[in-house]
Amino acid sequence: MRTPLVVGILKETKGWEHRAPLVPSDVEWLNDRGVKVEVERSARRVFNDREYKKNGAVIVDRVKSASLLVGIKEPRVHDLHAGKVYMVFSHTAKGQAHNMPLLKTCLKKKITLIDYEKIVDLYGARLVYFGRFAGVCGMVDSLHYLGKKLEWKNIDNPFSLIRPAYKYDSLQEIKKVLSKIGQLIHRKGLDTELSPFIIGITGHGNVSRGVQELLESLKPVEIHPTNMLAFVRHQKKQGRRLYKIVFLREEKFRSKDGRGFYFEDYLRHPKKFESNMDVYLPYLNILVHTAYWDNRYPRLVTEKMINTLSKKKPFRLEFIGDLSCDVKGSIEITHKTTTRERPVYTYDPPAKKFVEGYKSEGVTVLAVDNLPAELPKDASDHFSGLIRDYVYQIAVHGAKDITRHMAIPAEIRDAVITQGGRLTKNSSYLGKYISAFGVVSTCCGVL
């Protein structure tokens, strides 16, 4: 029987990262089952070193005995330990150029790299994710910065009372604040210029569910996109409620030749389709975008669309929360990602230019690409619960040759990118990306 691997919790090296992959209570759970845990010392982590030590961890400056190293973000290349097992968001699975040196080093040092992003079920749905908190924080921040923009425009609104997500201690605290604001809206109503206040949402995954979970505190009324135009005509003075629309694919896109929308046809021939959002955008106050996109598919909101629609009345769209953060992607006016320090910029259609911040006419965009880090404790609690059993399964079997160890869950075996100096079969497609970085051919073999 193999000796269990010692687990090591890595120190995060990105300045804004306070999350932890495993929380102290789950470290205790592992210890109780014979799995030892080392924790790299960190003053930044949302749980302090004393909490980990109290729950049985050994605090170290740098991992020593640990062979299974778990973290959140990808480690720095020069920090990688040869022959170890890493579980992280490596940001290599799409062939991201900036992390090919990391992948090259994993091959060279014969590191077993497991990427959380690739841990999926039989239907391809992710099993390990922070998406819920991206949705929660993205919705809070969108409401906050919309409120500040409306305040700048001298439009009285309750959203300016909301703080950014990172200024709250917990999701529970945020929900209490929003519940009070929802009651205020129901009692006093919104400015007629904002009514009816409609939030449009794209996507149906974990991020979208997080957005909608947060909105429930405001008790919105859901309306169907096909009823929206009639609703707006008859509810112009209805300011005592918020409204939400969750768009389906057949509502977001239309066939260029006027035929109906068929999803299979869309997947096979995406170039036959175009965005249908020009029908809805003029009537939304906020669009929150969470849907997956890559360059095979039509954009949802183009710069040309915004330029054209903004010349006509009505055009009520003030804000886009682009939680997908695809630069010049589905939301074309997302021309860069943003940070907590500089979270928004505004696209000015008449001038066709971007202005930093929200103090400008036009459509303001939020595109913060590390939103879950704004609620580090809640996000860590959630995430630790998702990976704890996987960490235990790998550690207790003492397995570094993970793809060959059938006792380890299949979803973990399939999430391995590199092992023993080679790409795994599931990750062989990455060979074309790393070849550009001078990786020798023996490292690009496939397991």
- Give domain limits for the chain: 7-128+376-444, 131-374
Q: Which helix (H) or strand (E) holds 13?
A: none
Among 325, 323, 298, 315, which Cα is nearest to 349's? 315
Alpha helices in 165-205 (DSSP H): 171-188
Q: Are 171 and 375 in contact (CB under 8 A)?
A: yes
The token pair at 148 is: 């500040």
**Superfamily classification of domain 7-128+376-444:** NAD(P)-binding Rossmann-like Domain (3.40.50.720)
CATH level 3 topology of 131-374: Rossmann fold (3.40.50)
CA pseudo-torsion sign 405, 408, 413, 415: negative
Q: Which residues of 376-396 are buried (b: 16+ CB within 10 A; e: fewer)?
A: bbbbbbbbbebbbebbbbbbb
Determine the Cα angle at 391 with ends 66 and 88, to 5°: 75
One pLDDT digit (tens) per residue for the chain, 447 residues: 678 999 999 999 987 899 999 999 999 999 999 999 999 999 999 999 999 999 999 999 999 899 999 999 999 999 999 999 999 999 999 888 889 999 999 999 999 999 999 999 999 999 999 999 999 999 999 999 999 999 999 999 999 999 999 999 999 999 999 999 999 999 999 998 899 999 999 999 999 999 999 999 999 999 999 888 888 877 666 678 999 999 999 999 999 998 889 999 999 999 999 999 999 999 999 999 999 988 899 999 999 999 999 999 999 999 999 999 999 999 999 999 999 999 999 999 999 999 999 999 999 999 998 999 999 999 999 999 999 999 999 999 987 889 999 999 999 999 999 999 999 999 999 999 988 766 443 444 555
> Which pLDDT value is given to residue 226?
86
Q: What is the DSSP letter of 273?
A: E
